[in-house]
Structure 1
Amino acid sequence: MSRRILDELGLASAAHADALAAGDKTFVPVHTGSHDLRIGTLLDLLDRDPTLVPPRTGHLGNWEDIALGRSGPMDFNTAICGAGHGYPLIYGFTRTEADTEGGDEAYQPGSVIQHGRREVMTLRTWDGSAFVRRGRDRPLFCPVVQAEVDGELVPLVDLHWRRMSAIPGFRFRQWAAVVVENSHLVADMLTLLIEQADGTAKQGTRLSELISQVARPDGTVGRCDVVRDGSAYVLEGYRFPSARSLAEAVLELVRALVEPAAFFDRLAGLPPVLPVMSLQLTNVLFGLLHTHRPEDGAEPPESPFITHLHWGARAMAGCPPRRSGYLTRRSTVRSLRALASPLVRHFDEARPLAFVLLPAQTFMLCPPSTSPADIELLQGLLADLRTTDAERAYDITTAWLARHGERLSSYLRGRFRSGSGVPADGTTRPPAVPVEPAGFRDLTFRQACAAVAALEEAYG
């Protein structure tokens, strides 16, 4: 099955499928934005295999206006999840927006946004004896935050999850729930990786690639150092007696996303510092835990390797070659491969992994149904793009923008503005659905990425 998917997409060679099948390679990333794969070819494959649903990793926060197609730069989520090309897999290890940098300004989890209007919530975190109000002077780590609602404290995670679960047509799933469902396996995997980690290794895994940050009950989170001391591990002065105890501590914050009320009930008895699972390990687990087949959890693992399709947005996928995302950077790939290799060697449940990255921003070329003029204009651009090769797609888009760019609506231009998220300017916008302009599916992902990059540079 895994090889068939790559063959149908024309990516078997790029993924080194033979080497994966033989076990000679354990992790190979393939960015479709660097290949001449037709968008329609991928979407047709997904239509033929209803069990294959690539995750679109979004963040905890405000999804109501996203689901209604009026979220500006976040509309690619609507196009993917609303049309069934993927499903929203929610990553909750984020921080509330604040007056200083570092918070999640896209999904703004420290507020409630509806109909373009933002209500800033009162937030509290634990100071060692009580939950105290926190200002907006710094971002707060979402899993340890409570919000005041009608005079009561509600876990911030629970508040947003209830709101998101009430949205019709969107099959939300928590990444943390997938990990908790496989917690025994993940704890075993993490224990092995911790035991094998070497702080100075050039080829193996470093502890910082497993535990990237430390969170405290007061909401602060930041980089950390984990130091091995014999069989024990010391994190910011707190001693974990074994690799297993450190691995179990990592899972505490994961469980906080799934069972937040229970987490807060035991918070006073937890260590004063809690290790945060790294994004590198999270990405490996996306594939090894089969999040691309969300309804097939009881099925045997794919063999002889796993083909994991994943919709990545600005940070993860970018728009190659003008702007690459983090997943395919050489240093990231080295880290991901170093994490995957011992897991594949030691666990029957793990298979070599072909990680096929699908750039979600492709769908930024699909205007909202409320803007027929934009749809007609974009059809003209796509007609120009289909007549040329991918190498010229950026230049053709740039030239087209010089002639027609000012005719695009301010809403569509705003999609490509850097640093923007769900609109909260108080403007009431009607619900809409993203519309594929004629010829959209005939574009290759490489052509679409080049066009989006040109639009980002023009309006960002």
Structure 2
Amino acid sequence: MSGHVLDELGLRSAVEADALAAGEKAFAPVHVGTRDLRIGTLLELLGRHEDLVPPRTGHLGNWEDIALGRSGPMDFNTAICGGGHGYPLIYGFTRTEADTEGGDEAYQPGSLIEQGKRDTLALHTWDGRHFVRRDRSRPLFCPLTRADVDGELVPLVDLHWRRMLKIPGYRFRQWATVLVDRGPLVTDMLTLLVEQSDATARQGTRLSELISHAVRLDGEVARCDVVREGTGYLLDGHRYPSARALAEAALVLVRALVEPAAFFEQLPALPPVLPVMSLQLTNVLFGLLDTHHPDRPAGTRESPFVTHLHWGARAMAGCPPRRGGYLTRRSTVRSLRAITAPLVRGFDEAHPVAFVLLPAQVFMLCPPSTSPADGELLTGLFRTVRTADPDGVHDVTLGWLREHHDRLSPYLRGRFAKGAGVPADGTSRDPAVPVEPGGFRELTFRQACAVIGAFEEALG
């Protein structure tokens, strides 16, 4: 099906499909935010291919108001996951929000948010002998954190996961479960990559591109250096005797997201520092492990290459050309190719990957059903945009905003504020669903990204 999807989207040449099929390339990304691909063309394709469901990689945390369409800048999740255009694949290697930078301020996993009201949780981590309460002075790694709920310490991961599974209509799936279900294969893959890596590689993979962070058992996580020492590897002072031992330790943290209670039982016996898989490796595994076919039996593989469609948000996809995401940066693509190539050579289960990055933020242009006037205004904007020169859409939108800024609802304008996440200001908002304004599906992704870039510049 790989080639058929690319043909239907007009992206075959953009990802050099022939080179992927011939094994001349191992990884090729295309950002549809830079392409003249109609939004409607993509959504119609997803409707025809019912087994093709691109993941929307959200974070562990507060999804209740997201599902009810009252999460402000996070409403693009509502449009995608509630609208059937994707499913929420939850990434749990995040940190609690804190007084210092580095925590997840969007999903705020260190708190419970419902109906716009935020209740901070009492958080506890291991001090070497006991679980002790921590203040908010620093972010804490979610898999290693417990919360006090009615006098009982429960894994923070489990607390949020149970709440998320109660949300009707949302097919939540853990990224970690995908890896654990294929644990022996993933361990073998990471072992091979570690063995073949080099700290100063120019063409191959650096160790830091595989293991990017180290986490201590008290929940402190930071960037790290992994140093080869003979046949072993030093991770922040702790020695793992082999590449396989390092890989197995990385999978221990992954399993902590799937079986948190069992993880905390064994925590006192674990090494003092554990390796955290990098985002580069994670993104490669998204494609290799077929996360875009969540209902397909494990072990089924596309051939001769994989076409992986993925909804990326502000960090991953951004809105080019004004603000691109990290995935298609030249340095990131080099790393993704260096990781994928030895896996394709070394494992029958691995095929080259065409990574089709879909910017989730285009759905920020779909106002809530509680603001019909916004929809009427945006219908007029889209009519103007569709007749404008593609390179001039940003400036055209800025001009439109100067005239119509005050007519847009505060809620819609607030979606584009800098650093905003799930609202927790105590304001009660009615449940809503995102509504596509007239002409939304006729926009190209390139046009929609230019419009959003202008909204962020004018309203952020």
Q: TM-score range by the shorter chain?
A: over 0.9
**Letter matched to residue 117 of structure 1:** K
Alignment of 1:143-158 (within 5 A): 143-158=143-158
Q: Residue 293 of structure 1 corresponds to which residue in structure 2?
A: 293
Alignment of 1:186-335 (within 5 A): 186-298=186-298, 300-335=300-335
Q: Deviations over 1:411-436 (max 9, x none)?
A: 00000011010000000000000000
| Contact 1:290 1:297 (8 Å CA) reproduced | no
| Contact 1:191 1:243 (8 Å CA) reproduced | yes
Moved >3 Å (runs of 4+): none
CA distance in structure 2 between the partners assigned to 1:299 and 1:190 by the alignment: 18
For 1:440, what is the secondary structure of its paired residue?
Answer: coil
Residue 298 of structure 1: CA displacement? Answer: 3.1
What is the aligned length? 460
For 1:246, what is the secondary structure of its paired residue?
Answer: helix
Residue 264 of structure 1: CA displacement? Answer: 0.1
| Contact 1:88 1:173 (8 Å CA) reproduced | yes
Q: Deviations over 1:252-295 (max 9, x none)?
A: 11000000000000000000000000000000000000000000
Q: Residue 125 of structure 1 corresponds to which residue in structure 2?
A: 125
Please report the RMSD computed on the Cα atoms of aligned residues, expressed in angstroms: 0.6
| Contact 1:33 1:446 (8 Å CA) reproduced | yes
In the alignment, is residue 367 of structure 1 matched against residue 364 of structure 2? no
**Letter matched to residue 142 of structure 2:** C
Identity over the aligned pairs, expressed in percent? 74
Residue 396 of structure 1: CA displacement? Answer: 1.1
In the alignment, is residue 26 of structure 1 matched against residue 35 of structure 2? no
For 1:58, what is the secondary structure of its paired residue?
Answer: coil
Residue 299 of structure 1: CA displacement? Answer: 5.4
For 1:274, what is the secondary structure of its paired residue?
Answer: strand
After TM superposition, the score normalised by the length of structure 2 is 0.99
CA distance in structure 1 between the partners assigned to 2:286 and 2:161 by the alignment: 20
CA distance in structure 2 between the partners assigned to 1:191 and 1:170 by the alignment: 35
**Letter matched to residue 79 of structure 2:** A
In the alignment, is residue 17 of structure 1 matched against residue 17 of structure 2? yes
CA distance in structure 2 between the partners assigned to 1:278 and 1:18 by the alignment: 29
**Letter matched to residue 258 of structure 1:** V
CA distance in structure 2 between the partners assigned to 1:144 and 1:380 by the alignment: 50
**Letter matched to residue 72 of structure 1:** G
Q: Residue 173 of structure 2 corresponds to which residue in structure 1?
A: 173
CA distance in structure 1 between the partners assigned to 2:155 and 2:99 by the alignment: 22
CA distance in structure 2 between the partners assigned to 1:45 and 1:425 by the alignment: 39
For 1:377, what is the secondary structure of its paired residue?
Answer: helix
Q: Residue 344 of structure 1 corresponds to which residue in structure 2?
A: 344
CA distance in structure 1 between the partners assigned to 2:369 and 2:242 by the alignment: 56
CA distance in structure 2 between the partners assigned to 1:288 and 1:146 by the alignment: 32
For 1:295, what is the secondary structure of its paired residue?
Answer: coil
CA distance in structure 1 between the partners assigned to 2:213 and 2:299 by the alignment: 34
Q: Residue 80 of structure 1 corresponds to which residue in structure 2?
A: 80
CA distance in structure 1 between the partners assigned to 2:64 and 2:126 by the alignment: 29
Residue 300 of structure 1: CA displacement? Answer: 2.4
Q: Residue 430 of structure 2 corresponds to which residue in structure 1?
A: 430
Unaligned runs of 5+ in 1: none
| Contact 1:27 1:354 (8 Å CA) reproduced | yes
CA distance in structure 2 between the partners assigned to 1:213 and 1:19 by the alignment: 34
Q: Residue 405 of structure 2 corresponds to which residue in structure 1?
A: 405
| Contact 1:310 1:355 (8 Å CA) reproduced | yes
**Letter matched to residue 178 of structure 1:** V
CA distance in structure 2 between the partners assigned to 1:298 and 1:95 by the alignment: 30
For 1:234, what is the secondary structure of its paired residue?
Answer: strand
Alignment of 1:389-400 (within 5 A): 389-400=389-400
Q: Residue 185 of structure 1 corresponds to which residue in structure 2?
A: 185
In the alignment, is residue 384 of structure 1 matched against residue 388 of structure 2? no
For 1:47, what is the secondary structure of its paired residue?
Answer: helix
Residue 145 of structure 1: CA displacement? Answer: 0.1
Residue 14 of structure 1: CA displacement? Answer: 0.2
CA distance in structure 2 between the partners assigned to 1:226 and 1:18 by the alignment: 37
Residue 189 of structure 1: CA displacement? Answer: 0.3
Q: Residue 94 of structure 2 corresponds to which residue in structure 1?
A: 94
CA distance in structure 1 between the partners assigned to 2:48 and 2:24 by the alignment: 31
**Letter matched to residue 125 of structure 1:** T
Q: Deviations over 1:228-254 (max 9, x none)?
A: 111111111111111000000001110
For 2:369, what is the secondary structure of its paired residue?
Answer: coil
CA distance in structure 1 between the partners assigned to 2:119 and 2:345 by the alignment: 50
Residue 389 of structure 1: CA displacement? Answer: 3.3
After TM superposition, the score normalised by the length of structure 1 is 0.99
CA distance in structure 1 between the partners assigned to 2:443 and 2:313 by the alignment: 18
